[in-house]
Structure 1
Amino acid sequence: MTPAHRIPARRRLHRAVLAGALLATTALGAWGQPGQPARLLVGFPAGGSFDAIARLLAEKLKDELKRPVVVDNKPGAGGRLAVDVLKASANDGSVVMLGPDALTALYPFTFRKLNYDPAKDLTPIGTVSEFPFAMAAGSDPAVKTLAEYVAWAKQNPQKANYGIPARGAPHHFFGMLLGNTIGVKMEDVPFQGSAPMIVGLIGGQISAGIDVMTSLTEQHRGGKLRVLVVSSPQRVPQLPEVPTFAELGYPAITGMGFNALYAPAGTSAAVTSTWNQALAKVIKLAEVRERLATMGFLPVGGTVEELVSRQNTAAKRWEPVIKASGFTAD
């Protein structure tokens, strides 16, 4: 073969190599040079459960993505401030966000003016975990079961209230559902987070508290308060002695929260798939599953389609409840 014949073949080979390199770069997430850190946004303060999950994921995702993953806390507005940062970020895979279910399933119905459109501004990556909510009693009334609390609430409707970390989240509406079901107009008492709500519950300032189960577990085990019931469809392994709303005769008060990873709008399917596959591998790790379970979360790690279906199901579940309540957050 003459040199004249070999040149086109070399060019074809060179082009094939370039195309393969480009495809590999896209599959790895097209952000900068290999090894450049990726950011994992968290819309809640350091030290909380979401922060703990993010740091657990970041530690393991770096091995799958072959680059450091840095947790970047952007607390405020129930995760909505982090959405603003995500919206302003490059959509090349360099920035993703760990967000709560409220971003897609509740806030669209509680805020007249929302700073984002879930369908347009958030690219779903995958569900990280799901978790139940729980209702607890403190020092006053000193009830030990939900039945005892309901009986007390009916006898003392003016005192029947429930503390929540903030209005407009599932905690808030679970309380509304309970009050409607038992025929007692229970007043919601919002606090600035879980910690002060738990202090108020232990001190008898509120008659009950509703929060994610993991926030109440430690004080329950320590005897400072009593978790009366959980919102999951079945009892959870972390608190096997605690019944569900459904088994106590309140099937309407059933539901799980979830958290998930999101990328900015316009993120390619290849980059989204890279993050999803890395997340799936991390969630399968025994130490990750054990750590999540210890914190009160049930690992998921499903597909993009699973997350979209989960979001839609949650939105359909909460939209009529929120609209019937007449509640708006602004």
Structure 2
Amino acid sequence: MPFRIVLKRLAAALSLALGVSAVPDAAVAAGGDTPTRIVVGFAAGGALDIFARTLAEKLRVSLNTPVLVENRPGASARLALDTVRRAHPDGKTILISPAPPFTIFPLTYRQLPYDPDKDLVPVAYLADVPLIASTGTGQPYRTMQEYLAWVKRQPARGGVGLVTLGGTIHFGVLTLGKEIGVPLLPTAYRGAVMMLTDEIGGTLPLGIDAVAGQMELYRAGKIRFLGVTGTKRTSLLPDVPTLAEAGAPGFESASGWYSAFVPAGTPPATVAQLEKALLDAIRSTDVRDKMAALGMEMNGQPAATLRRMIRDQRAQWKPVVEASGFTASD
């Protein structure tokens, strides 16, 4: 074959390849077979992962498209956030995030690689994760009011266990200490198991963590529940008062939550479609029952409510964080 013919064929093949590679990302992403990704910042098998997979099953039907769950653990869910903010804004990539990257991290980190108000678009407020104050059954107090009276008499024993410094529980403890005039000390543990072990052993007077991780010990009579975070009692434990009801202010906005976000630039009509699909999913009885067993309460609020809540919670915690002088680092 003459060399010039070979060159012509190579040129034609190269032009074809360049033409294919030059197809805009939008055209590829818009393909009907492109699966939707739900990205979470925690490993497979945990409560958030199970929640995401439960939602994925619902969205497969309501959106009539394949839906996958992608686990991107690390950096306190910031790796997952970064994955989504860089994704094509076509509604095919959804972040399900806890509250801190949007409410607390902008206050505690000197610099973040993302803008929580500009890089992502709120879609729906999905679930609450109530936290509960507990103590060992060997302690002399049976209620939060009794604990507060006890710690005022013994201020040197004002340590309060938690699993993460720099979160809402940390700053709630500081707020409560200021209110009662006792320097309560947020005491970080490497995990809830170690914290609860010290509670049961009597060396930790009080600890605060998610309801789900404490229920088994509570039912076994190893710990007492003294109060839940939030502004209203949780349906998971309707007989347990809120901490505010029990005379311990500072935790009204300290409950955890999970919400959905998409990359900035996602068309409003697409956001609205996802909002409806997600809210319909969490309002179903089977989802509510399944997630209640994991310590979650399905909430179901639209994007506008989520946006306002993030703004209000950040404003509420800002003076507390600034007064504490706390800064976060990895």
TM-score, length-normalised on structure 1?
0.84
> Which residues in structure 2 correspond to 1:1-330 (within 5 Å)?
31-138=29-136, 141=139, 143-255=141-253, 256-330=255-329
**2: distance between equivalents of 1:63 and 1:327?**
45
**1: distance between equivalents of 2:315 and 2:206?**
27
Residues 213 and 173 of structure 1, relative CA distance in 2, 3 Å threshold? farther
Residues 263 and 200 of structure 1, relative CA distance in 2, 3 Å threshold? farther
Residues 75 and 139 of structure 1, relative CA distance in 2, 3 Å threshold? farther
Q: What do you get for the CA RMSD once the two structures are aligned?
A: 2.3
Q: Which runs of 5+ in 2 are unaligned?
A: 1-25
**2: distance between equivalents of 1:194 and 1:148?**
24
SS at match of 1:172: helix
Residue 320 of structure 1, CA deviation:
1.8
SS at match of 1:141: coil
Contact 1:171 1:212 in 2 (8 A): no
**2: distance between equivalents of 1:316 and 1:44?**
27
Contact 1:140 1:207 in 2 (8 A): no
Residues 48 and 177 of structure 1, relative CA distance in 2, 3 Å threshold? farther
Residue 297 of structure 1, CA deviation:
2.4
SS at match of 2:301: coil
**Aligned residues between the structures:** 303
- Identity among equivalent pairs (%): 36
Residue 276 of structure 1, CA deviation:
0.9
Q: What do the CA deviations read for 1:145-168 (whole angstroms, capped 9, x no partner)? A: 112222332233222211111111
Q: Which runs of 5+ in 1 are unaligned?
A: 1-25
Residue 233 of structure 1, CA deviation:
2.0
Q: 1:234 corresponds to which letter in structure 2? A: K
Contact 1:176 1:186 in 2 (8 A): yes
**1: distance between equivalents of 2:100 and 2:144?**
26
Q: What do the CA deviations read for 1:161-196 (whole angstroms, capped 9, x no partner)? A: 111111111121122122222222122221234343
SS at match of 1:277: helix
Residues 268 and 174 of structure 1, relative CA distance in 2, 3 Å threshold? same
Contact 2:99 2:258 in 1 (8 A): yes
**2: distance between equivalents of 1:70 and 1:140?**
47
The residue number in structure 1 matching 2:8 is: none
**2: distance between equivalents of 1:131 and 1:277?**
22
Residues 281 and 310 of structure 1, relative CA distance in 2, 3 Å threshold? same
SS at match of 1:119: coil
**2: distance between equivalents of 1:193 and 1:30?**
43
Q: What do the CA deviations read for 1:78-117 (whole angstroms, capped 9, x no partner)? A: 2112112222322222211110111211111111111211
